[in-house]
Amino acid sequence: MADGWQLPARLAALGFFGVIVQVAAVSQISILGVSVDLAPLMVAAVGLLAGSLPGAIFGFAVGLFVDLALVQTLGVTSLLFIVIGYAAGRLRELRDPAHGLVPVMVGAVATAISTVGFALMQFLLGIEAPVSWLLLRQVVIAILLGALFALPVHALVRRVVSGALPDDPRRRRRRAYTTGGLSPLSRPSEGR
Amino acid sequence: MLIALVVVSLILLTAYFGESAGSPLHTVQRGVIQVLSPIQEGASRALKPARDLFGWFGDTLDAKKERDQLRAQRDALLAEEIDYQVAIRENRQLRALVRMDGNHGLGSYEKETARIIVRSPNNLLRDTLQVDKGTSSGVHVGQAVIAGGGLVGQVTTAAGGTAVVTLITDQRSAVGAKVLNRGGRGDIGLVKPSIGDPLDLLVQQLPRDTKVRVGDNVVTSGVIDPRFPSPYPPNIPIGRVTKVDPAELESNNQIHISPIADLRHLDFVQILTTPPPGGEERAQVP
């Protein structure tokens, strides 16, 4: 039972401290006029490591916390982060990508969903903002920064949740590859 | 589960968006902020060094960018300032040329203003200028050249679109001159450059009893003398007396003057192309 609570507890701590660090420090550092947003990267990493449902739940919780902490319209970031966490988890479950740079691509996509989605939601909610090249430039820079920071965030999340994950698909795949998909006991004999 | 999360998000969104500021969701949000604010403040202070470190990198990059911009701006301003200085200098010289017309009765001469395009590098022996006006502008050999309030020299070579001016500081130059001394006698001499220091002009062949003092002016004589053919109109300032050595005057009949025109910093000159009608004084010079 204690093991069952290990992952949610670790993810809760990760989400809480991640958002605090984001709000207290990272948001105040501007690179090329844009701040790095670690929250979607965290959500994507959790989805990629823990699966679609944990990813979606973590996304919802982190999104809600971000909305609360930043006094934004509740539900907007949650909705976007659910999509990010779920999509990253589905990628893991369906494709199980093994390439080391997958987190970079996933981070870039997560940032794109987050920034573009947030802008779209704001427009839908009637917040008037000029659609300009400046905005487009900022979105592009945010995506690039997201890709840049995706790998360290993924490594950090992996470190936090390692040991609490139910199963590692890579390990499973490696095992399947070395044993030909079968247990050594049930492997066909050499003479056949 | 996923659908439930999405639905909850949408409900929150809709409820929050439609609520007033005093509604439950807003109250909850304010409460959360109140609870989080000390944590955020603490985290903000704790993470300040890291923030400052990143900020330092950012500031350094910004400062470098700003420095490059300021350098470019400085270079542009420097180029602009140089342009202004050149324009002011040219303006001053052109004004001086115009002023000379009135002061020395040169208004009746046809004048061609020319820009100096080449200056002889070895001015110890050959002191010449090349200007951008030539025979096509009415410039011919022998015409007098003035600038900066005084005599510059004369045209010694003229082509279609250019001419060479030999300065009064050239070793081949000789100008008939009149010393405007206090006695008012106006002793006549010949201005030639001294050997080794072209800017030190000598007024030679003066009478031994010439009464002259430092600071007296020397002007062109424009005299008719078969020995000293003068292409220069009378009364153009040549120089000011800088040294009068009685022994030198006694033995060599000469005094020292410095040219009035700043011959080393000229950009424009005026060439007296056509003498006034009836001004045959010069024309009669053999």
DSSP B159-180: -SS-EEEEETTSTT--EEEEEE
Task: Note whether A28 contacts B14, CB cutoff 8 Å.
Answer: no
Q: Which residues of B touch A73 (CB under 8 A)?
A: 13, 16-17
* DSSP-derived 3-state class of residue B104: coil
- Select the more confidently predicted residue: A47 or B50: A47
Residue A178 confidence (pLDDT): 53
Cβ-based contacts under 8 A for chains A and B: 84
Q: Which residues of B touch A76 (CB under 8 A)?
A: 13
- Chain B residues in contact with A23 by the CB 8 A cut-off are 40, 43
The yes-or-no verdict on residue A28 having pLDDT over 50 is yes
3-state secondary structure B260-286: CCCCCCCCEEEEEEECCCCCHHHHCCC
What's the structural domain count of chain A? 1
Rounded to the nearest angstrom, the minimum Cα separation between A176 and chain B is 31
Nearest CA in chain A to B57: A31
Residue A187 forms part of a structural domain: no
Stretch among A175-179, B42-46, B122-126, B189-193 having the lowest mean pLDDT: A175-179
For residue A138, give how far its alpha carbon lies from the nearest alpha carbon of chain B (Å). 17
Q: Which of B101, B103, B130 is nearest to B118 (CA)?
A: B130
Q: What is the pLDDT of residue B283?
A: 36
Q: pLDDT value at position B103?
A: 63
**Predicted-complex ipTM score:** 0.70
**CB distance from B14 to chain A under 8 Å?**
yes
Closest-CA distance of chain B to residue A51, Å: 12
- Angle (CA) B48-B51-B54 rounded to 5° is 150
**A25 CB-contact burial (10 Å; exposed 0-12 / middle 13-18 / buried 19+):** buried
pLDDT (0 to 100) of residue A190: 45
Please list the helix, strand and coil fractions of chain A in percent, rounded to the nearest 5, in that order: 75, 0, 25
Asked, for residue A142, whether it belongs to a domain, the answer is: yes
Q: Greater confidence, A150 or B40?
A: A150
Assigned domain for A190 exists: no
A141 is in which domain, residue-wise?
A: 2-166
Backbone angles phi, psi at B226, to 5 degrees: -60, -25
In a domain, A13, yes or no: yes
Q: What's the pLDDT score for residue A57?
A: 92
Measured in angstroms, the CA of B268 and the nearest CA of chain A are apart by 53
What is the maximum span of chain A, computed from C-alpha positions, in angstroms? 75
How big is chain A by its Cα radius of gyration, in Å?
19
Q: Taking CB atoms and an 8 Å limit, are A68 and B2 in contact across chains?
A: no
* B10 neighbourhood in chain A, CB within 8 Å: 75, 79
| Residue B122 confidence (pLDDT) | 58
pLDDT of A129 strictly over 80: no
Helix (H, G, I), strand (E, B) or coil at A32: coil
Window 204-233 of B, Cβ < 8 Å to A: none
Q: Which of A68, A71, A73 sits opposite B13 (nearest CB)?
A: A73
Nearest to B13 among A23, A52, A75 (CB): A75
Is residue A105 in some structural domain? Answer: yes
Q: Which residue has the higher pLDDT, B230 or B17?
A: B17
Q: Taking CB atoms and an 8 Å cutoff, what residues of chain A touch B16?
A: 73-75
A25 vs A8, more confident:
A8
| Separate counts of helices (H) and strands (E) for chain B | 5, 12
> Quick check: is A179 in a domain?
no
> What's the whole-number mean pLDDT along residues A118-137?
73
A177 within a domain of the structure (yes/no): no
A68–B40 CB contact, under 8 Å: no
* B17/A contact by beta carbon, under 8 A: yes
Residue A33 lies in a domain: yes
| Closest-approach residue (CA) in chain A for B65 | A32
> C-alpha distances in angstroms, B95 versus B24, B101, B105, B124, B147?
84, 10, 16, 29, 10
What's the CATH code of the domain at A78? 1.10.1760
**B32 part of contact set with chain A, CB < 8 Å:** yes
Q: With contacts defined as CB-CB under 8 Å, which chain B residues touch A71?
A: 29, 33
Q: In this model, does residue A42 exceed pLDDT 90?
A: yes
Weakest mean pLDDT among A181-190, B129-138, B242-251:
A181-190
Contact of B172 with B157, CB cutoff 8 Å: no
CB contact under 8 A, B2 and A63: no
Of B9, B17, B40, the CB nearest to A23: B40
Instruction: Report pLDDT digits (tens) over B69-121.
Output: 899 988 888 888 888 887 887 787 777 777 766 666 676 778 888 988 877 66
Asked if the C-beta of A29 comes within 8 angstroms of chain B's C-beta atoms, the answer is yes
pLDDT above 70 (res B252): yes
Task: Closest CB to B10: pick one of A20, A64, A79.
Answer: A79
Residue B252 and residue B242: Cα distance in Å, rounded? 16
Q: How far is CA A183 from CA A167, A172, A174, B121, in A?
A: 18, 12, 13, 97
| Among B9, B25, B41, beta carbon nearest to A78 | B9
